[in-house]
Structure 1
Amino acid sequence: MIKQSMRLTGLALVAGATLAAGSAQAQDKGTVHLSYVEWSSTVASTNVMKAVLEQAGYEVETSSLSAAAMWQSVATGDTDALLAGWLPTTHEDYYAKLKDQLVDTGVNLDGTKLGLVVPAYSEVDSIAGLNEHADDFDGKLTGIDPGAGIMRLTNKVIEEYDLDLDLQSGSGATMTAALKSAIANEEDIAVTGWTPHWMFARWDLKYLDDPKNVYGGAEQIHTIVRQGLKEDMPGAYAILDNFEWTAEDMGEVMLMNQEEDSNPYENAKKWVEENQDLVQEWLPES
């Protein structure tokens, strides 16, 4: 009995060790490197994807870059993927130059929009009417980081409409700070804006009409990955390929990120935990 007991104990230890090793191996799937820009939409999607990939057993690194560097990093293989390919218009220049070095896995969010945004109380309703009120806007348009596709398009807007306003670059944070200050003082301001963005839930805003359609129509946000990722990490590729959500989903995460002292990564993990039905659709079948 003693020998049998020792034998059973030994078998249990071996089985336990085998299960532990198998579990460790399942959790050691490699590292996925995501690049992103500090835009509220991209911060939301990148952190959600980080949380989902970690749930699937991957290590995840993220790099905050300019828009141009973000695209370039995936093309060169320095990072594995980006979740912020605004196509066909906003990032058309980046995509045209680098598409032969990239893999477009498809749309992760449909129905985006971008353009010049003003407070709803503004008398101006169209880009064509900005010159008549240039003084009300202090002769400027408030933009974001200079490498963003919307900045390229806004410079084109200034040219096409022959606007007497200068485009000022900054960041997503400085743009929304300026918008907040102007609205608090009921002043006119025109900013480079896009949907989805939390500012539309926070304030009463409107897009200026773009009769020349310089900003283009509705766009989609695409997931772009490096060549070879499908072969190197088929599971991670499948998750990135399957990832698709709505503007309402993204909006929930963006609003969470605007709460005081909130942590975008912790917010993303919370959202992932609360939306497992959707998350399971992104995970490949085991």
Structure 2
Amino acid sequence: MKKHPLNRRIRLAGLAMAAGTALTAGAAQAQDKGSVHLAYVEWSSEVASTNVVRAVLEQAGYEVDMTSLSAAAMWQAVATGDADAIVAAWLPTTHADYMERVGDQVVDLGPNLNGTKLGLVVPAYTDIDSIAEIDENADAFDGTIIGIDPGAGIMSLTENVIDAYDLDEMKLQSGSGATMTAALSSAIKNQEDVVVTGWTPHWMFARWDLKYLKDPKNVYGGAEQIHTIVREGLEEDMPEAYAILDAFHWTPEQMGEVMLMNQSNDADPYENAKQWVEENQDLVQEWLPES
């Protein structure tokens, strides 16, 4: 059933407030094509990709609203029709629980990026090379694995890692992507050991010399993909927007360019996305339907 746009916008705003965020209205003027509502999670990769998709949809004449939510709320918003799409679904492992819960209520358009990876990350100078070595070196890491927001899929996987490898001397500390990279930056500056939850693509691999710890039990799984998920009925309601979302696909290197642009102190992810879209029109044209 098609949701009334105003009611849907009200529900989205309520979800965003519950997540401690605000609804950001698209600045571009729509050309009577309607409004597309994008939900996303506050990871640097998803901030980059969602803003790029926003800029492309606006170029095509849509108004775009963006709502930052927890991963669980993001999936639920698409399932209920309160959001039109996400380009932030990490599958098949990280968001497997969410897909299992609402997969029959959404439409999976397939991967928009291949070659992702999850795991525990340490500075390259750290002596250990495997997760199995962490517990016997717990003191070097202050007995702590630095994580991100507690609702993230990588956090539940890391809890499984702690159990699977009997990391009895370690605890998982939740926080955010920003607090995780701040802890990593501080440790590297002081040549200290630190272990954090990490994923590729992420700008931290371009900034510092890092390494993934080997995961011989394969708890984190192999390489993943980031999928585009849309609400049921979007293809019938807004076929051109659906086609753009379906065509959207880029590489970790291209995503990394945008993520690095967003790391300066005065960075505006939306403005950076618009700039990147302007500078990469050959690729963008592949995402836009033929006129």
The residue type paired with residue 90 of structure 2 is: W
Alpha-carbon distance between aligned partners in 2 of 1:216 and 1:48, rounded to the nearest angstrom: 28
Q: 1:194 aligns with which of 192, 196, 199?
A: 199
Among 123, 137, 140, the residue aligned to 2:141: 137
Matching of residue 101 in structure 1 with residue 113 in structure 2:
no
- Aligned residue for 1:219? 224
C-alpha separation between the residues in 1 aligned to 2:164 and 2:88?
27
Q: Which AA in structure 2 matches 1:179?
A: L
1-structure distance, mates of 2:76, 2:44: 21
2:24 match: none
The separation in 2 between residues aligned to 1:45 and 1:220, in whole angstroms, is: 13
Q: 1:273 and 2:286 equivalent?
A: no
Q: Distance in 1 between matches of 2:63 and 2:52?
A: 14
Structure 1 match to 2:93: 89
Q: Does 1:165 align with 2:170?
A: yes
Instruction: Indicate the residue corresponding to 1:116 in structure 2.
Output: 120
Separation of aligned partners in 2, 1:181 and 1:271: 30
Structure 2 equivalent of residue 237 of structure 1: 242
Match of 2:262 in 1: 257
CA deviation string 1:135-173 (max 9, x = no partner): 000001000000101001000000000102000000001
Count of aligned pairs between the two proteins: 262
How many Å separate the matches in 1 of 2:30 and 2:172? 51
Over the matched positions of the two proteins, sequence identity in percent amounts to 77
> Are the counterparts in 1 of residues 30 and 58 from structure 2 also a CA contact under 8 Å?
no
**Equivalent position SS for 2:39:** strand
SS in 1 for 2:278: helix
Encode CA deviations 1:79-131: one digit per residue, 9 max, x unaligned. 10011110011110000110000000011000100100000000110000001
Report whether the alignment pairs 1:228 with 2:248.
no
Matched, 1:149 2:149: no
What is the rounded CA distance, in whole Å, between the counterparts of 2:195 and 2:106 in structure 1?
Answer: 35
Corresponding residue of 2:47: 43
Counterparts of 1:139 and 1:238, CA distance in 2: 48
Q: Any runs of at least 4 consecutive aligned residues in structure 1 with deviations exceeding 2 A, and if so which? A: none
Gaps of 5+ in 1: 1-24
Whichever residue aligns with residue 116 of structure 1, its letter is L
Q: Which runs of 5+ in 2 are unaligned?
A: 1-28
- List per-residue Cα deviations over 1:32-77 (Å, max 9, x = no partner): 0000011000000000000000000000000000010001101011
Q: Please give the TM-score of this superposition, normalised by the length of structure 1.
A: 0.91
Partner in structure 2 of residue 75 of structure 1 = 79
**C-alpha distance in 2 between matches for 1:282 and 1:110:** 17
TM-score by length of 2: 0.89
CA distance in 2, matches of 1:141, 1:33: 35
1:177 matches 2:186: no
Shift of 1:26: 8.1
2: distance between equivalents of 1:88 and 1:26? 35
